[in-house]
Amino acid sequence: MAISLLKRSKTSGKKKQKSPASARQWAISLTIVAIAIWAFFTYLFDKTPDAVQAWFQVWLPPSTLNESLVWVICALGLNIVVGYAGLLDLGFVAFWAFGGYAAGWFMSGFFHQVNIHFGSMSANTIPGIHLSFWLVMVIAALIAGFFGIIIGAPTLRLKSDYLALVTLGFGEIIPQVFTNGENIGGFNLSNGTKGISPIDAIGVFGKRLGPFDLGWKFLIYFFLAACMVFVSLRIRGGRLGRAWLAIREDELAASMMGVPLMRTKLTAYAVGAFSGGIGGAVYATHVNGIFAERFNFSISIILLAMVVLGGMGNVWGVIVGALLMAWINATGLPAVGDTFNNTFHTQINFPSYNFLLFGGILVLMMLFKRDGLLPEARLKMISHENDDDTSNTGGH
Amino acid sequence: MGSILNAEHITVEFGGLVAVNDVSFDIPEKGIVSLIGPNGAGKTTFFNILTGLYKPTSGHVMYDGSEITALVPHKIAAGGVARTFQNIRLFGSMTAEENVMVAMHSHLKASLASTILGLPSQRREEKAAREEARALLEFVGIGKTATEFARNLSYGDQRRLEVARALALRPKVLLLDEPTAGMNPQESAVFVEFVHRIRDEKGISILLIEHDMAVVMKVSERITVLDRGEKIAEGTPAEIKSNPRVIEAYLGKGVGAGH
Ligand SMILES: Nc1ncnc2c1ncn2[C@@H]1O[C@H](COP(=O)(O)OP(=O)(O)OP(=O)(O)O)[C@@H](O)[C@H]1O
Ligand SMILES: [Mg+2]
């Protein structure tokens, strides 16, 4: 009796969070939050008391908000590879680098030998290649996607352990190429350790977004992140998404059900790379430059931790994971550290322990909560009202 | 009657071990045939050859008039050779319905772009696929579980889901590896009926691996007996029951004494 009651309350509880409406509700709520944040920082922030402004500068500066969105975009890309298809990619930073350099090449005065302008807000007289931000997004995605296929095609045949190793190597080599790319047979590919800076301002609706237009950039980054969410959910709900999950669950069974393993995995890898390219280009506009030394292993690991922390395969979980960890990385850890050091008169360098923290999170999640903070719980599409009643009374 | 799938002189070696030794075997069109034999006789290995998972050391597999020995597994599956697994291998974190829809992968055509854009053609295709999946779940008797995660289904329902998933390939041949394992006698009896329905309503040829002699004798039109990788007998249930080699190798230990 008690059991059947319990069962019933459980199913009715599930019924409330019903069907596709809930994805839409998520989307609407998040959009409202984003617009509120934008309005606050754009219009109200300057009018708030100094104490409030100071608090935000310490605990939630606008640049951290923007950076978090960059991480969200990339984490959602990696989620397709790791979360959906179950392929362990330890070198995602390589795609980030490709995207970043695409922005460096095509949105700056770096190639000063030429003078190409297309859809950019910068003056026509400035040398270099200056393409529209949106066009550069596409180019960055295509370059990264292309290299994703080049590296994926031979390695995805390997067992998953080898895949991790090869991608790890790839993630080390590509940034090295850029770091040492100042003189490749006389050609300056990357400006080496000096990097490429500044990057052109983003133009939207005839408005030029310079380095300090954080509010508007926030909206653009939010839009791109929202596109990633949309694409992730759409693919997940279709034929390809099902095939990815099936491969993640049981590769052999998937192939016995007619799913072509190589091709399906390669698509996941390419779509992930594509998104990584976009993320990299966005990052370049966020920091207003490209600096080779920033593309290191820690980026791959932080992204992986975001996906794992949030719940592999669950888009909303990954977003939460990415926002949380991006905040800890950029603001939380330094701010907590300063507060701690001031209070206890210590001199501990908290940010330098971020690796320890993220590594620890990865290990703890793997040990105790493999499904992540928000495990992927698919929603019931139809209500089982009558069925439940009969099965409950019949069963007990 | 012609044969739909036919294996000729199949030999499989694992290192030194000969798991299947020069076995030839036929599945007649729209027939129900069984493969029996003691544990380790090589039955599952033989299935793995038919579905392309292992490649034979020697021998050929012909299906529907062409050779499939060297094809990759997903092509053989898409071509219409479906199977279930001895140890259930469902996609646990996907719903029953999605499990079935995975096996429709090769029939569905929607491209990545049309999926992202949600084009009408893609929506129509998805809707039809979902309906077909529901119908298959109904067919195997677990229509109510469509939106349950596969790993939360009861053992019996999981076995049924494996069959529904295999049927989603729209196969011509269905290979069932110990489908009644873990079922009680009533459930097994129902299952015998069910196998006939699959054949009669869908026109699918069926090959069963089965340990339950009651089921085997009732359901099979022909039986092939393997022992230590060798085919030791082949014939109708009545012939197999009275074959001295079979009784010695197999029935003598189990059914002869027990049932
Ligand atoms: N991948 C493999 N590598 C090495 N040996 C294998 C492999 N697969 C099967 N074998 C061996 O081949 C022999 C036949 O195994 P198989 O699983 O085909 O038997 P079976 O007839 O299905 O038995 P059961 O009734 O227990 O399922 C066994 O000795 C087994 O250990
Ligand atoms: Mg077996």
In a domain? residue A155:
yes
Q: Which residue of A has its CA nearest to B149?
A: A378
Cα–ligand 1 centroid distance for B20 (angstroms): 9
Q: Which residue of A has its CA nearest to B151?
A: A249
* Contact residues on chain A for B89, CB-CB shorter than 8 A: 250, 252-253
Can you give the pLDDT at residue B252?
54
Cβ atoms B115, A234 nearer than 8 A: yes
Q: Which residue of A has its CA nearest to B118?
A: A234
| Residue entry with tokens 């045939």 | B33
Can you give the pLDDT at residue B253?
53
Looking at residue B108, its amino acid is: L
Residues on chain A bordering chain B, Cβ-to-Cβ distance under 8 angstroms: 230-231, 234-235, 237-243, 245-246, 249-250, 252-261, 267, 271, 376, 378, 380-382, 384, 387, 391
What is the position in ligand 1's atom list of the atom closest to the CA of B41?
Answer: 21
Cα separation, A249 vs A252, in Å, equals: 9
Q: Write out chain B in H/E/C secondary structure.
A: CCEEEEEEEEEEEECCEEEEEEEEEEEECCCEEEEECCCCCCHHHHHHHHCCCCCCCEEEEEECCEECCCCCHHHHHHHCEEECCCCCCCCCCCEHHHHHHHCCCCCCCCCHHHHHHCCHHHHHHHHHHHHHHHHHHHHHCCHHHCCCEHHHCCHHHHHHHHHHHHHCCCCCEEEEECCCCCCCHHHHHHHHHHHHHHHHHHCCEEEEECCCHHHHHHHCCEEEEEECCEEEEEECHHHHHCCHHHHHHHHCCCHHHHC
Can you give the pLDDT at residue A377?
53
Q: Is B132 exposed, middle or buried (0-12, 13-18, 19+ CB in 10 A)?
A: middle
Taking CB atoms and an 8 Å limit, are A249 and B98 in contact across chains?
A: no
| CA-closest candidate to residue B246, choices B229, B227, B259, B230 | B227
Beta bridge partners of B36: B225
pLDDT beyond 50 at A383: no
Our measurement of the distance from residue A158's CA atom to the centroid of its chain's CA atoms, rounded to an integer in Å, reads 26
pLDDT by residue (tens digit) across B32-66? Answer: 999 999 999 999 999 999 999 999 999 999 999 89
Instruction: Name the residue ranges covered by the structural domains of chain B.
Output: 1-80+174-259, 92-170
Cα–ligand 2 centroid distance for B228 (angstroms): 12
Percent of chain A with pLDDT over 70: 89
Q: Is the CB of B37 under 6 A from ligand 1?
A: yes
In a domain? residue A290:
yes
Q: Provide CB contacts within 8 A for A255, sequence distance 6+.
A: A261, B72, B73, B74, B77
Cα separation, A9 vs A4, in Å, equals: 9
Task: Identify the residue among A232, A239, A385 best suited for mutation to test binding to B, counting B beta carbons within 10 A and taking the highest.
Answer: A239
Cα separation, B7 vs B21, in Å, equals: 12
In a domain? residue A237:
yes
Can you give the pLDDT at residue A54?
84
A378-387, B61-70, B104-113, B180-189: the lowest-pLDDT one: A378-387
Predicted-complex ipTM score: 0.92
Cβ atoms B78, B173 nearer than 8 A: no
Confidence of residue A18 (pLDDT cuts 50, 70, 90): very low
Can you give the pLDDT at residue A352?
77
Average pLDDT over all residues of chain B: 92
Q: Is B221 exposed, middle or buried (0-12, 13-18, 19+ CB in 10 A)?
A: middle
Confidence of residue B153 (pLDDT cuts 50, 70, 90): very high
pLDDT beyond 70 at A354: yes
pLDDT beyond 80 at A389: no
Closest ligand to B211 CA?
Answer: 1
Tell whether pTM > 0.95.
no
pLDDT beyond 70 at A88: yes
pLDDT beyond 80 at B242: yes
A267-281, A326-340, B13-27: the lowest-pLDDT one: A326-340
| CA-closest candidate to residue A146, choices A231, A270, A268, A262 | A270
For ligand 1, atom 26, the nearest C-alpha belongs to B39
In a domain? residue A44:
no
Taking CB atoms and an 8 Å limit, are B169 and A257 in contact across chains?
A: yes
Q: b/e string for A81-120 if b means 16 or more Cβ within 10 A? A: bbbbbbbebbbbbbbbbbbbbbbbbbbbbbbeeeeebeeb
Three-class SS of residue A212?
coil
Neighbours of A386 (CB within 10 A): 9
In a domain? residue A355:
yes
Can you give the pLDDT at residue B47?
94
Average pLDDT over residues B164-187: 93
What is the position in ligand 1's atom list of the atom closest to the CA of B229?
Answer: 14
Cα–ligand 1 centroid distance for B73 (angstroms): 19
Q: Where are the beta strands (DSSP E) in chain A?
A: 107-108, 115-118, 128-131, 202-204, 207-209
Beta bridge partners of B35: B209, B224
In a domain? residue A160:
yes
Q: Which residue of B has its CA nearest to A380?
A: B147
Q: Is A349 exposed, middle or buried (0-12, 13-18, 19+ CB in 10 A)?
A: exposed
pLDDT by residue (tens digit) across A199-256? Answer: 887 877 777 777 777 888 898 999 999 999 999 999 999 999 999 999 999 999 999 9
Of B83, B115, B166, the CB nearest to A240: B115
Closest CA–CA distance from residue B125 to any residue of chain A (Å): 10
Q: Measured between CB atoms, does B88 come within 8 Å of chain A?
A: no
Can you give the pLDDT at residue B167?
97
Q: Provide CB contacts within 8 A for B167, sequence distance 6+.
A: B82, B136, B139, B140, B174, B198, B202, B204
In a domain? residue A395:
no
pLDDT by residue (tens digit) across A138-156? Answer: 999 999 999 999 989 988 8
Can you give the pLDDT at residue B162?
96
What is the position in ligand 1's atom list of the atom closest to the CA of B43?
Answer: 21
Cα separation, B10 vs B22, in Å, equals: 5
Cβ atoms A215, A208 nearer than 8 A: no
pLDDT beyond 70 at A16: no
Cα–ligand 1 centroid distance for A89 (angstroms): 34
Of B72, B89, B115, the CB nearest to A234: B115
pLDDT by residue (tens digit) across A244-274? Answer: 999 999 999 999 999 999 999 999 999 999 9
A108-117, B144-153, B159-168: the lowest-pLDDT one: A108-117
- Per-range mean pLDDT, top range of A154-158, A283-287, A297-301: A283-287
CATH of the domain at A337: 1.10.3470
For B1-80+174-259, CATH gives 3.40.50.300
Task: Identify the residue among A10, A232, A242 best suited for mutation to test binding to B, counting B beta carbons within 10 A and taking the highest.
Answer: A242
Closest ligand to B20 CA?
Answer: 1
The residue segments making up the domain with residue A181 are 61-382
Taking CB atoms and an 8 Å limit, are B91 and A250 in contact across chains?
A: yes
Cα separation, A145 vs A278, in Å, equals: 10
More confident residue, B191 or A25: B191
Closest CA–CA distance from residue A164 to any residue of chain B (Å): 23
CA angle B44, B45, B47 (to 5 degrees): 60
Number of domains chain A contains: 1
Cα separation, B40 vs A338, in Å, equals: 67
Question: Which of B10, B12, B17, B226 maximizes ligand 1 atoms within 8 Å of its Cβ, making it the mutation to test the pocket?
Answer: B17
A103-112, A162-171, B142-151: the lowest-pLDDT one: A103-112
Average pLDDT over residues B154-178: 95
Our measurement of the distance from residue B255's CA atom to the centroid of its chain's CA atoms, rounded to an integer in Å, reads 24
pLDDT beyond 70 at A17: no
Q: Which residue of B has its CA nearest to A391?
A: B144
Q: Is the peptide bond before B171 cis (omega within 30 degrees of 0)?
A: no
pLDDT by residue (tens digit) across B176-187? Answer: 999 988 888 888
Can you give the pLDDT at residue B236?
95
Average pLDDT over residues A94-121: 84
Query: For residue A19, what are its two tokens?
Result: 């069907």
Cβ atoms A99, A175 nearer than 8 A: no
Q: Is the CB of B40 under 6 A from ligand 1?
A: yes
Three-class SS of residue A297?
helix
Cα–ligand 1 centroid distance for A58 (angstroms): 64
Can you give the pLDDT at residue A272?
95
Cα–ligand 1 centroid distance for B56 (angstroms): 14
Confidence of residue B69 (pLDDT cuts 50, 70, 90): very high
